[in-house]
Chains A and B, each alone.
Chain A
Amino acid sequence: MNALRDRYAIVGIGETEFSRNSGRTTRALGVEAIRNAMRDAGLTPADVDGMLSYHGNDSTDSPTIAGDLGIRLNFYMDCSGGGSSTEALIGLAIGAIEAGMCRTVAVFRAMNGYTQARIGGTGRQAPVYTGGSIPQAIYGMTSAAQSFAPAFMRHMYEHGTTSEQVAHVKVAHSKHASNNPKAFYKERVTVDDVLSSRWITKPLHLLDCCVETDNGTAVIVTSIERARDLKQHPIHIMGVAGRTTKRKGNYHWSYAPISLHAGQYGGPIVFANAGVGPEDIDITGSYDAFTFTTLFQLEAYGFCKVGEGGEYVSSGIIELGGARPNNPSGGHLCEVYSHGMNMVIENVRQLRGLVDDYCPSWQQGEHTYDYSERGCRQVRDPEITMNLGWASPATGSALILRK
């Protein structure tokens, strides 16, 4: 039994427009996202006294953003990290409050992920190979796609997984995004569209890869006692697992199976903390940096057997109207690439019953549950959701929320 289960809540969510031409600094993006999250929660700057962010030397620090908003901080950390940081920092926010350092924490990510700092680099920087480059980068393996592809190829070899099966992840998420007015890519695509898009690195096509974007995103965490006085129905944090790694997380290829994600270790932690199992989860939010990363995570956390992920993701289960929809917002593949934040924000919206889709009265929680194009994307009465974070095959985080 975890004494902190359900003792903390996500009380506010906020984001900026998702674009490929923000024309603004990450400072402005972070400020707007946190301001929106405070207004969503019904909090004033005087109510927020903690901040956590993550960055890859591509963002703005908490004191600057807090200063702009008139927030005086009792606690902040700006951590190095990309994917899988969101869930981990929500866990650390609970720890900071529990330690008595602060009372209410805004967790944010602000990035010009298309116009400034693209993941894997733009190829424009002056290159030098140092010692750290020798085992990998000097061989032309620098981007995320290049770094992850051998693990997926091995999965195909060991389990017979196909490109067609994982293309269904993009297809499902594009259907979801077509019902999300703020999604960057709202057009539905087919399996053939994915398979006929150009190669990035075989076995990955262009449409197997997510959509690099400029954006700011934020969630606000506080204790359940304070949450009860706020504007929104509090979304309870049942359990977290933060950045579990495989053995030799810096060079995981030494240990087989190389296609089994670190969630194999995070799953037992997060499910024990939350007191539930995969069968209790109504919605999954996977880190779909690539189509196949969804498959890896669903296997590692036990939503299907290892090796059967191809069948699972192509069965219709992960679509709206399916048994356990995944990334109803469209995720990283179609909505926005925010390093994990947008899938947490979507699960909060889903649990509130206030998904911002094309239903005319969504703001009153009235949904049609018609999932055809430009329609509804609210799942019917979800009780428990789970987020699956990914930094690489060797590192992941997880977060379980309930109404």
Chain B
Amino acid sequence: MAEYLGVRVHVPENDPTMLAYLQHAGTHRLTLQRCRDCGLLQYPPGTACEHCTCLDFDWAPVSGKGTIYSYEIVTHPIHPAYRDRVPYPIVLVELDEQRAVPAPDYALRVIATLVDAEGRPEHEERVAIGARVEVAFADLGDGLALPLFRLSDEPPEHALWRYPG
């Protein structure tokens, strides 16, 4: 049985798209839907191409590298799975692929938690807009994995910005 932080992960058979996403992540490559018609990537996985409405997709591995676009530091947990994880950062990561394509205001942005090398929540003082990150994976069981992010060694994309105080 697949689980994450002690909580069962059950993606039913009638949701093969989301199941495939987690299965591809199980090989430890961040893999996104690519439209068979227009060739564009999208995130999160959906049932039609958000760019052209095509219903058919391939799965395309991407670099898993990106930049923190925004974030928050959760201190008051709601979900029981996170009760022992606070404070934890949630980041919005802008992936390197397909930035400003097909429109100047579009990007592949991914909500995820930011973890350290041991998979624990990253320390708040290390989280900043502009910081470079790379994908990491939490294995769920049954061949599935959940993409997360961790800080990379690359220099920041622009001057780092943190919440003041």
Chain A positions near chain B (C-beta within 8 angstroms): 120-121, 123, 127-132, 134-143, 145-146, 149-151, 153-154, 156-157, 162-163, 198-204, 248, 251, 253-258
B74 to chain A, nearest CB (A): 4
Instruction: Name the contact of B9 in the complex, choosing from A138, A156, A253, A254 (C-beta under 8 A).
Output: A138
Having A129-B9, A130-B12, one finds 9 other A-B pairs with CB under 8 Å, namely A130-B15, A131-B12, A131-B19, A140-B74, A140-B113, A141-B111, A142-B78, A153-B129, A202-B73
Chain B interface residue number, banded = 35 or more
Q: Verify if B81 is at the interface (C-beta below 8 Å from A).
A: yes
Inter-chain contact B11/A131, CB cutoff 8 Å: yes
**Shortest distance between the CB of A66 and any CB in chain B (Å):** 35
Return the chain A residue nearest B25 by Cβ: A134
Question: What's the Cα separation between A251 and B107 when bound, in Å?
Answer: 12
Q: How far is the CA of A145 from the CA of B76 in the complex (A)?
A: 10
Task: Select from chain A the residue with minimum beta-carbon distance to B127.
Answer: A202
Instruction: Tell which of B75, B79, B90 touches A127, judged by Cβ atoms closer than 8 Å.
Output: B79
> Can you list 15 A-B contacts with CB-CB less than 8 angstroms, sorted by A residue number?
A123-B83, A128-B10, A135-B43, A139-B111, A139-B112, A139-B113, A140-B88, A150-B71, A153-B71, A154-B92, A199-B76, A201-B90, A204-B72, A255-B103, A255-B105
Q: A247 CB to closest chain B CB, in angstroms? A: 9
Q: A124: nearest residue on chain B (CB-CB)?
A: B80
Q: Does B57 contact A (CB under 8 A)?
A: no
Complex CA gap A146/B86 in Å reads: 13
For window 50-82 of B, CB contacts with A under 8 Å fall at 50, 69-82
Cross-chain contact B111 with A135 (CB below 8 angstroms):
yes
With A129-B8, A253-B92, A255-B105 known as contacts, the answer to whether A134 contacts B21 (CB < 8 A) is yes
Asked if residues B72 and A201 are in contact (CB atoms below 8 Å), the reply is yes
Which of B21, B44, B82, B148 is close to A251, meaning CB atoms less than 8 Å apart?
B44
**Considering residues B7, B85, B124, which has the most beta carbons from chain A within 10 angstroms of its beta carbon?**
B7
Chain B residues at the A interface, C-beta cutoff of 8 Å: 4, 7-12, 15, 17-19, 21-22, 43-45, 50, 69-83, 85, 87-88, 90, 92, 103, 105-109, 111-113, 124, 129, 146, 148, 161, 163-165
In the bound assembly, the distance between CA atoms of A198 and B79 in angstroms comes to 19
Interface core residue of B74, B77, B108 (most chain A CB under 10 Å): B74
A130 with B10: CB separation less than 8 A: yes
Partner of A255, one of B18, B22, B106: B106
Does B82 contact A150, Cβ atoms closer than 8 Å? no
What B residues does A156 contact at CB under 8 A?
163
* Chain A hits for B75, CB < 8 A: 198-202
B44 to chain A, nearest CB (A): 4
| Closest B residue, CB atoms, query A127 | B7
Q: For A151, list chain B residues within 8 Å (CB).
A: 70
| Chain B residues, Cβ within 8 Å of A142 | 78-79
**A123-B79, A134-B18, A140-B85 given; A256·B72 CB < 8 A:** no
Find out whether the CB atom of B70 lies under 8 angstroms from the CB atom of A157.
yes
A153 with B72: CB separation less than 8 A: yes
- Rounded to whole Å, the gap between the CB of B112 and the closest CB of chain A is 5
B137 shortest CB reach to chain A, Å: 13
- A201–B62 Cα distance when bound, in Å, is 31
Q: Once the chains are docked, how many angstroms separate the CA of A327 from the CA of B87?
A: 33
Interface centre among A128, A201, A204, A248 (most CB of B within 10 A): A201
Contact of A141 among B11, B45, B90, B109 (CB under 8 A): B90
Residue of A153, A200, A251, A256 near B105 (CB, 8 A) is A256
- Check B4 against A203 for contact (C-beta < 8 Å): no
**B150 nearest CB across to chain A (Å):** 14
Which of the listed residues A132, A134, A146 has the most CB atoms from chain B within 10 Å of its own CB?
Answer: A134
**Would you give the shortest CB distance from A142 to chain B, in whole angstroms?**
5
Q: Which residue of A lies closest to B18 (CB)?
A: A131
Interchain CB contact under 8 A, B7 and A258: no
Complex interface: chain A residues within 8 A of B103 (CB): 255
In angstroms, how far is the closest chain B Cβ from the Cβ of A310?
13
Q: How far is the CA of A135 from the CA of B33 in the complex (A)?
A: 14
Residues of chain B within 8 A (CB-CB) of A130 are 10-12, 15
Q: In the bound complex, what is the Cα–Cα distance between A151 and B103 (angstroms)?
A: 20
- Which of B18, B44, B165 neighbours the largest number of chain A CB atoms within 10 Å of its CB? B44
A254-B107 contact, Cβ under 8 Å, with A157-B161, A198-B75: yes
